[in-house]
Amino acid sequence: MIRHILTYTLLLGTLLGNSSCEKEALAATPAVVEKPAPAAEKTHYVSSELLMSVPQETLKSIVSSQGYGRYLTDITYGISVYKLIYTTTYQGKEVQASGLVCVPMGMTVPAPVISAQHGTIFAQSEAPTSFTGLSGFEAFAAGGYITLVPDYLGFGASKDIFHPYYDQKHAALAVVDMIKAAKTFYKQQQVQANDKLFLIGYSEGGFVTLAAQKEIETHPEHGLKVTASAAGAGGYDLVSMLGGIKSGQTYTYPAYLAYILQAYNKTNGWNRPLKELFQEPYASKLPALFDGVKNGGAINRELSTDPKKLFNTTFFTDLQDTNKELVLKQALKDNSFLDWVPQSPTRLYHGTTDNIVPFQNSKTTYDRFIAQGAKNLEFIPIQGQGHGSAFGPMLQSLAPWLQQF
């Protein structure tokens, strides 16, 4: 959902509209498929394909036509956008995944790298590599950053997997393994990257960003170091989120609730019948709703915003009981950030009027990190903004902060 909110000012003042960048208006380059890396160069890299090159002047024309001419001087480079196929791990087995690599064109000095994690998506057409138009994150490359945008497992090359929504380990490895695969890509394409690595994400992407940061900081064998990290409006404390759901209050985006329960059911191999978790007619509807075609809005319209009506009555009652549904509750605890403290400079952002992921979720997480000894940590409330509208102000705030590094 969040990755399509593209009417905001992007990093370094660059703005590209999601629907204004028709491919006919861009200097599209015929796809070129790179050969897989030789066996002697065994890495996570599998292959890459050039999707599009957009000259600097074309980018400026797009931005100017949208009424953002004041940002023209911030578009320093044209961009080349590649689809990267790489290997990662799902349920302990090697699988192929995909994402975009966006490169500044003609940059003569080594560029820093941003891994940008998008928000929740439901349809395959919303995945970054579907490339129905520039998503916004690609525009970071116009400011001089090599930009990686992972699809996540369940989308693109791994579309046959049910997306492991809000699962720390799978989320982290999908990002970390792409960063590592991209290093082979840089060598093949003679792209110069420096040693700076930034992690940025919003909504689910905020959760994924912290998951990747935790993975890098607690597993030095990856050989990576985070320069700085910024996460916005992620559900970092799933235990407290559950507490809000158990209260029975109306939840305006029930597709998220259906998403996480199905994802945990499949990712963890519980294989519980959906009728144990959801009432009818929702239990029977869900497989067709989560078909990779429908978006979040279409799914929401078919579900109840009342948790007491959405969930199976016994299941909802058992959620209130401290001695029942222990496996699910433990999984939510395991995927919350309760026992780790960020080591790299980190910012948490959250809109104060967010009714999708409550503002208090980030505030509680920040307080916990500080109590556990976190340094170089900031919490930045975005006053008067909700889940969607806080994304732009977050990016605006990030620009001068990242430049410090």
Token pair listed for 141: 């490359």
Per the structure block, which two tokens stand in for 212? 């990747």
Same domain flag for 141 and 283: no
Contact by Cβ (8 Å): 88, 173: yes
In the structure encoding, which two tokens stand for residue 157, read together?
Answer: 């090359």
Domain-terminating residue out of 334, 364, 386: 334
Residues 158 and 274 in one domain: no
Buried b / exposed e over 136-160, threshold 16 CB at 10 Å, is: bbbbbbbbebbbbbbbbbbbbbbbe
> Same structural domain for residues 110 and 258?
no
Residues 210, 258 within the same domain: no
Q: Are residues 259 and 215 in the same domain?
A: no
Query: Which of 334, 361, 382 represents a domain boundary (last residue)?
Result: 334
Predicted local confidence at residue 161, as pLDDT: 98
Whether residues 119 and 148 fall in one domain: yes
Total count of domains within the chain: 2
CATH of the domain at 242: 1.10.260.160
Enclosing domain of residue 283: 238-334
CA dihedral angle for residue 128, residue 130, residue 131, residue 132, rounded to 10 degrees: -120
Co-location of 31 and 71 in the same domain? yes
pLDDT at residue number 139: 74
Whether omega before 281 lies within 30 degrees of 0, making that bond cis, reads yes
Mean pLDDT of 398-403: 88
Residue 216 neighbours by CB under 8 Å, 6+ apart: 176, 222, 224, 225, 226
How many DSSP H helices and E strands does the chain contain?
12, 10
State the residue for tokens 């002047």. 57
Residue 105: name the closest of 137, 162, 147, 43 by CA: 147
Q: Which of 305, 334, 363 is the last residue of a domain?
A: 334
Q: What is the CATH number of the domain that holds 98?
A: 3.40.50.1820
pLDDT given for residue 74 in this prediction:
76
Query: What percent of the chain is predicted at pLDDT more than 90?
Result: 78
Q: Under DSSP, is residue 39 helix (H, G, I), strand (E, B) or coil?
A: helix
Indicate the pTM of the whole model.
Answer: 0.90
pLDDT for 189 beyond 70: yes
pLDDT in tens, 111-122: 999 999 999 999
Q: Do you find a cis peptide bond into 164, omega within 30 degrees of 0?
A: no
